[in-house]
């Protein structure tokens, strides 16, 4: 995970330096609507009481089987200008995140993931792709560092995600793929803390292009019910958003 963080830091510094170095025409902050699309390289943090042998085995087994997956979100933002340098953001998006499981014995997709097992060495296993579908309502505050044709900003906030369903794709030995929607024990609202830094570039007096790098971390537990008894799971990700901002005169 350290390499994506290094790349993120370099890009953030580059974006900020480029934007703050341009001291052109003054652009006042006004209310706006965004169309945005973004992707996240998603990780999953799994913790538990490793002093218990059974829990330690579950943690080791799941961490060896599970890997990150690229998720995405698409939707709209509304930005309210409360001062020259501060905007308040909300909106609505469709979001999807998840993880991959590789090299396991075949299992019923509705079983507790703590019970899955790794296939024996040198034998082809079955791969699974889990995708959580959610509706996200971001709430954030944006502070603009430089107000010009190119301007950089820092954004912090929370993003409640309302869980819809889980889709599991099963990849069998002969590359056969089957998809199934399962009854998963996921919390109905997943709360994410989000920190982002980005840059706007004015295309004209009413249209702005923007890119934003985000780091997000789930604040509450991913699962409830029996799946939550032994281990705790939380989602986190590093990603990029881009889009078009329409300024409301």
Segment 111-164, tens digit of pLDDT: 778 777 776 665 667 888 999 999 999 999 999 886 666 788 999 999 999 999
What tens digit of pLDDT does each residue of 88-105 get?
999 999 999 999 988 787
Alpha-carbon 192 to chain mean position? 9
Per the prediction, the chain carries an average pLDDT of 82
Q: Which of 63-67, 142-146, 225-229, 234-238 is modeled with the greatest confidence?
A: 234-238
Contacts of 118 (CB under 8 A, 6+ apart): 61, 64, 65, 103, 104, 105, 125
Rounded CA-CA distance 151/100 in Å is 38
27 has a pLDDT exceeding 70: no
25 has a pLDDT exceeding 90: no
| Percent of the chain with pLDDT strictly greater than 90 | 40
11 has a pLDDT exceeding 60: no
Contacts of 69 (CB under 8 A, 6+ apart): 42, 97, 98, 99, 100, 129, 130, 131
36 has a pLDDT exceeding 80: yes
Q: Which of 8-22, 122-136, 171-185, 234-248 is modeled with the greatest confidence?
A: 234-248
Rounded CA-CA distance 212/67 in Å is 25
192 has a pLDDT exceeding 70: yes
Go through the domains of the chain in sequence order and give each one's CATH number. 2-99+132-164+193-247 (2.40.160.20)
């Amino acid at each position: 995970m350290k390499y994506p963080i290094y790349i993120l830091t370099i890009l953030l510094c580059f974006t900020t330096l480029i934007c703050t170095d341009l001291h052109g025409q003054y652009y006042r902050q006004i209310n706006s609507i965004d169309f945005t699309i973004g992707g996240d390289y998603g990780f999953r943090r799994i913790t538990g009481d490793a002093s218990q042998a059974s829990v330690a085995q579950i943690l080791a087994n799941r961490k060896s089987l599970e890997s990150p997956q690229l998720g995405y979100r698409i939707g709209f933002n509304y930005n309210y200008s409360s001062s020259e340098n501060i905007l308040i953001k909300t909106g609505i998006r469709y979001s999807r995140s998840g993880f991959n499981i590789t090299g396991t014995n075949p299992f019923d997709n509705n079983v507790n993931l703590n019970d899955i097992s790794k296939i024996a060495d040198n034998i082809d296993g079955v791969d699974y792709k889990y995708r959580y579908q959610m509706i996200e309502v971001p709430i954030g505050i944006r502070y603009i560092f430089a107000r010009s044709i190119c301007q950089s900003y820092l954004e912090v906030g929370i993003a409640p995600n309302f869980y819809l369903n889980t889709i599991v794709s099963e990849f069998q030995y002969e590359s056969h793929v089957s998809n199934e929607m399962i009854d998963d024990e996921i919390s109905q609202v997943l709360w994410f803390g989000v920190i982002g830094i980005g840059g706007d570039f004015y295309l004209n007096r009413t249209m702005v292009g923007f890119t934003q790098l985000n780091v997000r971390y789930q604040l509450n537990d991913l699962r409830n019910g029996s799946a939550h008894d032994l281990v705790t799971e939380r989602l986190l990700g590093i990603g990029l958003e881009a889009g078009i901002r329409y300024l409301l005169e």
